Structure 1
Amino acid sequence: MPPKAHMKFGDGATAAPSSTDKSTTAGKQNPFSNTYGFKTSSRSSQSNGGKKRARDCSPKISGKGEAQEGLKPESSIAKKQRINGPDSGFSLQKPARVLPNGVMGKTIKGTNHSKAILPNQKAIHRAAEDLKKARAELPIARSKMDIRQKLRRNDVLLLNGETGSGKSTQTPQFLYTEPWCKKQLIKIQNKDGRAEEVAVGGVIAITQPRRVAAITLAQRVAREMGCTLDRSTKQGEVGYAVRFDTVVPRGMKIKFLTEGMLLQEMLNDPYLRQYSAVIVDEIHERSMDVDLISGFLRLLIHGDKRGRGGVPLKVIIMSATLDLGGLKTFFAKPETKPDYEPGKNHDVFRKEAIKSSKKSKEDILSDGKAPARFGKLKGPLANETKSLPPKVELPEESSSEDDEGVAKNGVAYIHVKGRQYTVKTYYDEKPTPDYLDNMLKTVFQLHVAEPLPGDFLCFLTGQDEIETLKIQIEEWALKLNPKLPKIKVMPLYGSLSPDAQQAAFDKVKERYTRKIVLATNIAETSVTVSGVHVVIDCGKSKVKQYRPRLGMESLLNRPISLVSAIQRQGRAGREISGKCVKLYTKEAEEKMEHDEKPEIMRSDVIEAVLKMKARGVDDVLNFPLMDRPDIVAMEKALLQLHVMDAIDDNGILTDAGKKMASYPLPAAYGRVIVEAAKNDCLVEAIDVIACITSDSEIFLQPKSEEDRLEVEEHRKLINHPKGDILTYLTTLRKYVQEEQQNRLDWCKQHMISSRAMKMAVMIRRQLHQTCKSQKILKELPPSDPQPFKEPLPTQEDTLLKTFVKAFVSKTALMGGDGLYVTTLGRNPVYIHPSSVLYGRKLEAVLFLEHVFTMKSYGKKVSAVQANWIEGALLGNRDCEKEPGES
């Protein structure tokens, strides 16, 4: 590996063996010593502020018992004042029986769950007690009283907490015992005009942008509250819900869920009666679902509360990088902002945030003090930040609260100051074109220099880069001096199975081993990757850009935003003072956009439009979104839904559209299920959809020409001459015909992802249950394993016609020049090399994905007939007749 000329760590940097291995490594023994000039020696554990550290570097707290969560015991006099006085303080009080609209309500008494504590429960409770000390040290613990007080007097709270402050785990725990967070029986008027008693409230929902964050945070909060959380959990205070995986125990008070799952719940419960509060975490990521959630919450806050029996819904918006101006205005009472029109937050208010960030950006990114345990780094990389003035805050509105603490615009605000640990920042001296090679060299520079314990978190753009770098690191690790720490490389990206993702978050179990996590931006927010003290940031991410006129998505590597840079850097300071090495220059960072363009402004909005329609929004163009998509994108989405028969000529949702919205699937796949139920091919369609919507690609791509030839030989009996849809069907059915113990070997032989197949089987089972409950599937298919049965040619055609009905906008015909041209738009498209039809010349093709990399590609391609496309477009059944038929 050639030397890295413009980066250098040195000056006697050390690598510390574990406490049981005091052997030293001489500079001549180190294979990297001539390249980087490292000398290694034994190094004892460092102290931090006089507190002894355990092996995992968590501070060992001394001293006698502290009051629970930092609260002093309440005296009897204070108790009387609390109960009888006008201000209840911060302790619990009986909830008011008279609701804001004058409706009388009563609190439902909870079940007393106290019972004999079993031995394993004792261990759980002991672990929770141990975590209390660490929780009390989190910066947000100092704001506990303020958060409670603000939400007693206001319905909306913006919580700006710096990365690592503990807001995601602690905020729901502060609130679930509040008086307003009790389940109540309320009398409301139903659709028939009759009085009906319903339960409102009792649970706090907290949304996360990614499933791994929702599950990991739920498990952490469960441990802190002394309860278990797994699929066998029947009773507990914490639960979670992600796509195709839900754990909702009895007595649940806190529920972590993905943004998409909360939107799905709004179908059956548009007033969110189950919840007393909704916490929207990491709102700065501005996913499409979070924008929709914000719009619906705004309507619930300021609209008619009769659907909730007059009980207000508390809304907490959280992020480490809030756009205060835009969010305050969006959620403010409409009468306080009469000139405000939703739809332009990103353009109108980002200037204010940028102006403030320029004043405080360097202070956000570093505190200017290098942690003592790392020693001093020299060389071009070590652009150390000077001491800076205090962080500049956005100016508060004058007299924004009255004497009672009620915000005049209805939106309270709290900034949780301080990070638990400091992070030192280092930049590249000059730009490098190959950041992957730069990452590899930096990993080994730091590995031989940094003492243990101390794991690395490396940010890359996607799965391909992660797998490539993983192989390279493992190859070079074999050449290291055996006295240096061992290396364990852990990938972390969205398409990994939940178990594989969780493995990256767990502490490394092997002795004298450093964990190196290679992650996409899935590790950017909320969750703590245990043991990480060093972050290496490539400064890039893959950004999806939709072109509505072409109906095509581009997925390109682009520089990250300043907000993402802050979030990535913050991963290094979650458990101990750390450092962040940025593989880009300081000048490049200064040119970064303040934040990413919201997803809803750069994506196909067909899913958003369908979700709005399904939740009763007829005029989607005037729905209160923080940022409104381009009008062309909205019109394109409405046209696609009309072609799929999801909406009628008047834009009203059809029965088919309602069913489509009820599935936790993209709109087009929901349409496939609806059409397949009519065409008697539902079981086959579910098998295909289960494979396609699995978290990762089913078919692994060969790395060499030899692998390719071997794979082609093994996949001869799987690949279908009519294309990828029927290939997916064959693959799943051949997989499930195998006995459980043989399936892994079968996947290895055919170079198929066993993780993806397990997920596909789980999705298949869930869709079977959903269709059975909707009575479109008469009975569940027999359990596996089942012998493989080849479908008849007529059945194959019926299945392909079903997909054409849903994906008619993604079809192409063979042109006179031998190139495929899309049916709508007449744009050229090529079959992607990953398709089994690559290189084939056919009358017409259907592709399920349309992407642009080097050129316009159709992926997941199948052979169809031109008259099927014509029939789907015109809705004329005569067009589906075979040529020559009368």
Structure 2
Amino acid sequence: MPEKVHFKFDDDNKAASKLEVSRGVSSPSSRHTVANGAGPTNGVKRLRDGKPKTDLGLLAIKDGNTGVKARVASNASGNSGKGTPRQAISNAESRLAETKAPKNQKFLARSPPNGARNVLRARGDGIKKSGQDKSIPSGHRSTAAQLQKARESLPIWSKRLDIRFALRVNDILLINGETGSGKSTQVPQYLYKEPWCTRQKVKVDSGNGKSEELPVGGMIAITQPRRVAAITLAHRVAREMGSQLQKGSSSGEVGYSVRFESIVPPGTKIKFVTEGMLLQEMLHDPNLRRYSAVIVDEIHERSVDVDLITGFLRTIVHGDKAGRGGIPLKVVVMSATLDLGGIEAFFAKPETLPRYQPGTNHGKILLRHMPGYEFRASSSKSSRRTSKDSYSSWEGLNEHELGKKKNGVAIEYVQGREYEVEIFYKTHPQPDYMHSMLEKILHLHVQEPLPGDILAFLTGQDEIETLQAELESHAAKLIKTVPKMKVMPLYGALSAQAQQDVFEKIKEPFTRKIVLATNIAETSVTVSGVRFVVDCGKSKVKQYRARLGMESLLAKPISRVSAIQRAGRAGREAKGKCFRLYTESDYLNLDQDELPEILRCDVVEAVLKMKARGIEDVLAFPLMDSPKTAAMEKALIQLHMMGALDDSGGLTDAGRKMAQYPLPAALGRVLVAAAEVSSDVLIDIIDIISSLTTDSEVFLQPKSEEDQGVIEEARGDIYGPQGIAGRGGDIITLLTTMQRYASEKSDRVEWCRKRLISVRAMKMAMQIRKQLRQLCGQQKLLEDLPPPDPLPFEPVAPERAEVLLKAFLKAFAIKTALLGPDGSYVTTQGRNPITIHPSSVLYGQEKFEAIMFLDHVFTAKSYAKKVSPVQAAWIEQAFGS
């Protein structure tokens, strides 16, 4: 079922203007139509035929009854191809039914003929018809049976045999599954009952010349870039499989693990994880012995963690498998908007592509299959493939190198749903996209009939909250004949439950859901009911400035990959429309894909993870895109200054401990430093770190100067009688807030409301606090866990504040500034001017001889956030140690 994306253009301004809000302002859009299958210009999507790449020595056979394609070994593969194709099918069927997964070696290639289709299905394509697990409640089984028809209607269903067979022959599978194809939920279900996905006891080299018998495999990990996607997908797959997924479950086949939250029942076969959590597992088990396969989903987002994961997986697949007892690890890489040529070259057997060098993939991937793409050769010497049936586009590698050699990589293309999405552009650039967004949403709500919810993409929480207030104000004035309006925000700082509510179908009658989201809604999970998408064309991007040692967070134009992903949200469940608040020419001038995060961020976390994983030469580690040498060297210097690396570049004991915490490297160092002092100091540091690592700010900002005065007075019990300066700035203020909240015996919600403190942030901080305390207890850093709350509040003495700030200086000595003669602050590293951010409790207060800041951002100018006063002598001491 191909996904049709129609670009509709029309020069009739009168017709187009009818689609705009008619409140005295005309904002005509351009609209144009192009048929499927046309040439590659003028924004046309070329549809792939969906046929699998024919493997060398294999013959594609089509089942006349079901239309399912099956592959049969030809006579190049021994006696399996003798006689007629039907005889070959029969022979292959009997061999497949009799074969079991051999221990300690890769499962031999077996073909799934039409007769063997039932054998494959019995291994896990559908819901069991008999002999069901009685431990699973009947309600779960009933839900799974109801969802089975929906599973069979997904485009990827017809590819299930090809996907399973591909991984019997190869260790690497790349899936280009278009939006709505079902790849995120279905692929793990197709694989978890495969013969190679069983737990096996094998002899594993322990590294000292001895071997021990250990279990290997039996579980599939699926990585997601965001925790909301991991949790939501896990619950969906659990329902489809009739499996329990809740805290305290005695058994279940589906689980998930995200930062500070994990539900992995005994017997879990499919485990959804965030990328960071899989990296955390790699620190304890570099060979990933628990897993038979790892599925890397949404790889096109190219976070730092996913780049590290692919590098480690490449090493496991092509390296010595002694750590896994000789059992190969299967790897599946999936994306909806990425030509997989460069990734194929990265994962191919090195001996088949001797000219390929990892580290320079970005900018060499050709997105021919995407609508609106126009290839612009970067140089006349480019040798990228451009043939219509080409499946790989890596620059400089010819068809023989990529298509004829057995490089160990299989590729499958899965077309999306057959739902049309109409794309509308503005005819003129919009000076204020927020105003255009408001008009477009109101117009759609008034003019478009139900059902049909609206998904609007904005850059951040501030814009979402502003637009939400305006929409809710208009909603109160709607007449009764117009549907009610339910406005729901969706951004990373929301609670898990609030995020989950957005994905559910709306229950109120005669009501339209309007979701205001950041790019968190671009991928993986379908927001139920959406038929209309409004895209502002921008997103906030972090950019690390290595020379200044700070990050900037600015709204920038998105890439075409993101624009296509956003438009695809409108066609997940039915025909839809996407309104882009920018012109078609602006779209065609967008970069084809995002700059990988590893090329635009501080890589100190990545370097620490590589070191902890046993990578000695981090500069030579194979990444799809390698950061500049200067950025890597600066990260090594920072880790050495923190005490994480010794003089020879090896990991110290402190560095090993830092890597074990699910925290940024600097905060991990603070935790280690506190443990070296005393348990009491460690408990206080855990409280501070818990407040710092929530998804949103603890202190909400007043909306007016009048409110500011009221809030200052209400927070008097937090700031203390000695004033802000005596309390140690933002760090000690956060500690006091945490301890005051924990000691509250009556109504914590009301306590937060009076002081304009985020209830959600405090609840999350308490959860993180509990997890960190347990982790420190397991590592013997805490002899005894503190007694349960509430405990009497005790103010932080100045002596204790000094000890805590010195612990933070162990990691943040490079983020300090000295007071200059003119009364401004100048950073100790780089001698650059810096200003205290208005959100800090030290803003507008007296000047100090030196300050320490935990965050350094650039918006209108260079700002220091999370600021505390320190002494210059402490900084010298920290650098000296």
Residue number among 118, 131, 139 corresponding to 1:123 in the alignment = 139
CA RMSD of aligned residues (A): 3.0
Could you list the per-position Cα deviations for residues 2-35 of structure 1 after superposition, in whole angstroms to 9, with x for gaps in the alignment? Answer: xxxx998889989xxxxxxxxxxxxxxxxx8765
> Do the aligned partners of 2:425 and 2:580 also contact (CA within 8 Å) in 1?
yes
Q: Which amino acid aligns with 1:338?
A: P
* Alignment CA distance shift 1:8-1:305 (3 Å): farther
> Do the aligned partners of 2:257 and 2:277 also contact (CA within 8 Å) in 1?
yes
> Do the aligned partners of 1:9 and 1:449 also contact (CA within 8 Å) in 2?
no
Q: Which amino acid aligns with 2:543?
A: Q
> Do the aligned partners of 2:341 and 2:392 also contact (CA within 8 Å) in 1?
no
Q: Which residue of 1 aligns with 2:58?
A: none
Q: Which residue of 1 aligns with 2:56?
A: none
* Alignment CA distance shift 1:737-1:9 (3 Å): farther
Q: Which residue of 1 aligns with 2:311?
A: 295
> Do the aligned partners of 1:157 and 1:412 also contact (CA within 8 Å) in 2?
yes
Could you list the per-position Cα deviations for residues 682-716 of structure 1 after superposition, in whole angstroms to 9, with x for gaps in the alignment? Answer: 00000000001011111111112222222111112
Q: Which residue of 2 aligns with 1:835?
A: 840
* Alignment CA distance shift 1:323-1:395 (3 Å): closer
Q: Which residue of 2 aligns with 1:76?
A: none
Does the alignment pair 1:422 with 2:438? Answer: no
For 2:95 and 2:435, locate their aligned partners in 1 and report how far apart those are by CA, in whole Å: 58
Question: Aligned with 2:362: secondary structure?
Answer: helix
* Alignment CA distance shift 1:10-1:488 (3 Å): farther
> Do the aligned partners of 1:845 and 1:863 also contact (CA within 8 Å) in 2?
yes
Q: Which residue of 2 aligns with 1:517?
A: 515
Q: Which residue of 1 aligns with 2:812?
A: 807
Does the alignment pair 1:165 with 2:181? Answer: yes
Residue number among 222, 241, 245 corresponding to 1:225 in the alignment = 241
Question: Aligned with 2:553: secondary structure?
Answer: strand
Q: Which residue of 2 aligns with 1:533?
A: 531
Q: Which amino acid aligns with 1:807?
A: F
Does the alignment pair 1:96 with 2:102? Answer: yes
Q: Which residue of 2 aligns with 1:711?
A: 711
Q: Which residue of 2 aligns with 1:629?
A: 627
For 2:508 and 2:693, locate their aligned partners in 1 and report how far apart those are by CA, in whole Å: 35
* Alignment CA distance shift 1:310-1:836 (3 Å): same
> Do the aligned partners of 1:69 and 1:141 also contact (CA within 8 Å) in 2?
no
Q: Give how far 1:338 is off.
A: 1.0
For 1:419 and 1:837, locate their aligned partners in 2 and report how far apart those are by CA, in whole Å: 55
Q: Give how far 1:357 is off.
A: 4.8
Is 757-766 or 322-331 further displaced after alignment?
322-331
Could you list the per-position Cα deviations for residues 232-259 of structure 1 after superposition, in whole angstroms to 9, with x for gaps in the alignment? Answer: 3221110000000000011111000000
Q: Which residue of 2 aligns with 1:659?
A: 657
Q: Give how far 1:83 is off.
A: 12
Residue number among 706, 716, 737 corresponding to 1:731 in the alignment = 737
Q: Which residue of 2 aligns with 1:316?
A: 332
Q: Which residue of 2 aligns with 1:478?
A: 476
Q: Which residue of 1 aligns with 2:571?
A: 573
> Do the aligned partners of 2:256 and 2:273 also contact (CA within 8 Å) in 1?
yes
Q: Which residue of 2 aligns with 1:62?
A: none
Is 574-583 or 556-565 further displaced after alignment?
574-583
For 2:96 and 2:177, locate their aligned partners in 1 and report how far apart those are by CA, in whole Å: 21
Q: Give how far 1:622 is off.
A: 0.6
Q: Which residue of 2 aligns with 1:850?
A: 856
For 2:201 and 2:551, locate their aligned partners in 1 and report how far apart those are by CA, in whole Å: 48
Q: Give how far 1:135 is off.
A: 1.0
For 1:732 and 1:508, locate their aligned partners in 2 and report how far apart those are by CA, in whole Å: 36
* Alignment CA distance shift 1:838-1:693 (3 Å): same
* Alignment CA distance shift 1:794-1:8 (3 Å): farther
The within-5 A match list for 1:39-50 is none
Q: Which residue of 2 aligns with 1:699?
A: 699
Q: TM-score scaled to structure 1, two decimals?
A: 0.84
Q: Which residue of 1 aligns with 2:218?
A: 202
Q: Give how far 1:399 is off.
A: 6.6
* Alignment CA distance shift 1:706-1:276 (3 Å): same
Does the alignment pair 1:584 with 2:590? Answer: no
Q: Give how far 1:539 is off.
A: 0.4
The within-5 A match list for 1:1-12 is none
Q: Which residue of 2 aligns with 1:436?
A: 434
Q: Give how far 1:418 is off.
A: 3.5
Does the alignment pair 1:823 with 2:799? Answer: no
Q: Give how far 1:633 is off.
A: 1.2
Does the alignment pair 1:256 with 2:261? Answer: no
For 2:15 and 2:482, locate their aligned partners in 1 and report how far apart those are by CA, in whole Å: 17
For 2:653 and 2:531, locate their aligned partners in 1 and report how far apart those are by CA, in whole Å: 53
Unaligned runs of 5+ in 1: 1-5, 15-31, 39-67, 74-79, 103-108, 363-389, 876-886
Is 390-399 or 580-589 further displaced after alignment?
390-399
Q: Which amino acid aligns with 1:503?
A: D
For 1:278 and 1:685, locate their aligned partners in 2 and report how far apart those are by CA, in whole Å: 36
* Alignment CA distance shift 1:8-1:622 (3 Å): farther
* Alignment CA distance shift 1:425-1:289 (3 Å): same
Is 231-240 or 693-702 further displaced after alignment?
231-240
> Do the aligned partners of 1:356 and 1:392 also contact (CA within 8 Å) in 2?
no
Could you list the per-position Cα deviations for residues 616-665 of structure 1 after superposition, in whole angstroms to 9, with x for gaps in the alignment? Answer: 00100110011111122111111110110000011000000000000000
Residue number among 542, 547, 550 corresponding to 2:548 in the alignment = 550
Q: Give how far 1:195 is off.
A: 2.6
Does the alignment pair 1:682 with 2:682? Answer: yes
Residue number among 771, 793, 796 corresponding to 2:798 in the alignment = 793
Could you list the per-position Cα deviations for residues 109-142 of structure 1 after superposition, in whole angstroms to 9, with x for gaps in the alignment? Answer: 99x9978858x92222122111111111111111
Q: Give how far 1:769 is off.
A: 0.2
> Do the aligned partners of 2:107 and 2:196 also contact (CA within 8 Å) in 1?
no
Question: Aligned with 2:168: secondary structure?
Answer: helix
> Do the aligned partners of 2:104 and 2:325 also contact (CA within 8 Å) in 1?
no
Is 290-299 or 331-340 further displaced after alignment?
331-340
* Alignment CA distance shift 1:131-1:71 (3 Å): farther
Kindly report structure 1 stretches of 4+ aligned residues shifted beyond 4 Å. 6-14, 32-38, 68-73, 80-84, 86-93, 112-118, 355-362, 390-402
Q: Which residue of 2 aligns with 1:213?
A: 229
* Alignment CA distance shift 1:401-1:645 (3 Å): closer
For 2:696 and 2:180, locate their aligned partners in 1 and report how far apart those are by CA, in whole Å: 30
Could you list the per-position Cα deviations for residues 58-115 of structure 1 after superposition, in whole angstroms to 9, with x for gaps in the alignment? Answer: xxxxxxxxxx999899xxxxxx99999456787794212452599xxxxxx99x9978
* Alignment CA distance shift 1:280-1:497 (3 Å): same
> Do the aligned partners of 1:83 and 1:93 also contact (CA within 8 Å) in 2?
no
Q: Give how far 1:789 is off.
A: 0.7
* Alignment CA distance shift 1:731-1:808 (3 Å): same
For 1:851 and 1:7, locate their aligned partners in 2 and report how far apart those are by CA, in whole Å: 44
Does the alignment pair 1:142 with 2:144? Answer: no
How many residues are matched? 779
Could you list the per-position Cα deviations for residues 769-822 of structure 1 after superposition, in whole angstroms to 9, with x for gaps in the alignment? Answer: 000000011110111111111122111110011111111110000011111011
* Alignment CA distance shift 1:324-1:649 (3 Å): same
> Do the aligned partners of 2:101 and 2:107 also contact (CA within 8 Å) in 1?
no
Q: Give how far 1:575 is off.
A: 1.2
Residue number among 331, 352, 356 corresponding to 2:347 in the alignment = 331
For 1:559 and 1:91, locate their aligned partners in 2 and report how far apart those are by CA, in whole Å: 54
Q: Percent identity?
A: 59
Unaligned runs of 5+ in 2: 1-11, 28-64, 71-85, 109-122, 376-386
For 2:823 and 2:14, locate their aligned partners in 1 and report how far apart those are by CA, in whole Å: 55
Question: Aligned with 1:345: secondary structure?
Answer: coil
Q: Which residue of 1 aligns with 2:206?
A: 190
Q: Which residue of 2 aligns with 1:760?
A: 765
Q: Give how far 1:442 is off.
A: 0.5
* Alignment CA distance shift 1:72-1:816 (3 Å): closer
Q: Which amino acid aligns with 2:809?
A: V
For 2:584 and 2:691, locate their aligned partners in 1 and report how far apart those are by CA, in whole Å: 44
Does the alignment pair 1:133 with 2:138? Answer: no
Q: Give how far 1:177 is off.
A: 0.8
The within-5 A match list for 1:335-346 is 335-346=351-362
